[in-house]
Structure 1
Amino acid sequence: MVKLHPKGFTGYVKLLSQIILMSLVGCTNSGFITPPIQPLGNSLNTRSSEQYPRFSYEGRYLVFASDRQGKRSIWLYDQVNGRLLPLPGLNQPGTIQDQPDISADGRYIVYVSEQEGKQDIFVYDRQTSRADNITKNIIGEVRHPTISGNGRLIAFESNRLGQWDIIIYDRGLNTPLSLPSQSDIGSQE
């Protein structure tokens, strides 16, 4: 058995105390602004699973998927006002909506849904409350959509040719664009 000299033991205890203290200081929540969990589901987090968070360009809007209310749905959180925003017509009863992404100013939300019998990619316009299926003619699976900042281009994965490939969909020149305001651009520089 190894015996420590009392002075050696005191030094060991001091060193161990300093290591523990430095570890605790490194665990502070500095920089985190997440609101606390709300049991009623009126806030960002609940006791349900929340996944796929994506910010709009300036960080005002946060879109995500959640299992709250007993089914997988898309939710939109306004960080400036600290509340969830309604998405009328997006979350269809009896179906799953998942894997969202959002355009620069938060106008467009792209997501996966199975509301037409198979998984498809939909684009939801918050100004018109309309969702369009852009993959209804694709045979095969689709997943993980992302939308360009201006809302015109959408990329996603598809296995329509027997392997997972990246597909780019152009919504066209006449697509109303989603652009951050000039004040948002100036504040990012």
Structure 2
Amino acid sequence: MTYKVAYIIGSLSSNSINRKLVGAMIADAPADLEFVEADFSKLPLYSPDYDADYPQIATDFKKILEDADAVLIATPEYDRSIPGGLKNAIDWFGRPWGSNPIGGKPVYVVGASMGSVGAAIGQIATRQTLEFFNPLLMTQPEVYMKMSHEDIGEDGRFIDAATQGFVKSAIEAFADYIRKHA
């Protein structure tokens, strides 16, 4: 069986290190995981005014999450919290009221930043926000990494073999979690 994993990159940066982190995870992911990005970068700022005429771009975003068996979210930490763009995406997928494309699904929040705490607090804020939707949050192993663009090689993997081994073990643990709960 193949499991579809929607992934969300919490940063709007075109050169996001969290995108590189997810790429390194996907590079060594088990073959039974199929990945599709749930891109929120073009969503307008959420307002209840949209509920009466829900935009197609938001419908398409939610459909990716609805069709997925699991969700991987890679988030940086902005000012000790969740990035605004990611919070906006969460607001969109929770609307109109009662919508819940991640309820009961395995969800794994990981992240990286150039700062010394490696997005740990941003992940806590993200998990806290997601708890409202009652997902099956996988909390171990924690992946909060201090990293830079120079840590990733041409092949999309971490240059340091031990670091790549760690992210490989993390995505393998998520695959096991998905197999048990999807």
Q: Same-fold call, TM > 0.5? A: no
Tell me the TM-score normalised to structure 2 length: 0.27
Q: Please state which structure has a larger fraction of its residues in strand.
A: 1
Tell me the TM-score normalised to structure 1 length: 0.26
Q: Please state which structure has a larger fraction of its residues in helix.
A: 2
Decide which structure has the larger Cα Rg and report it: 1
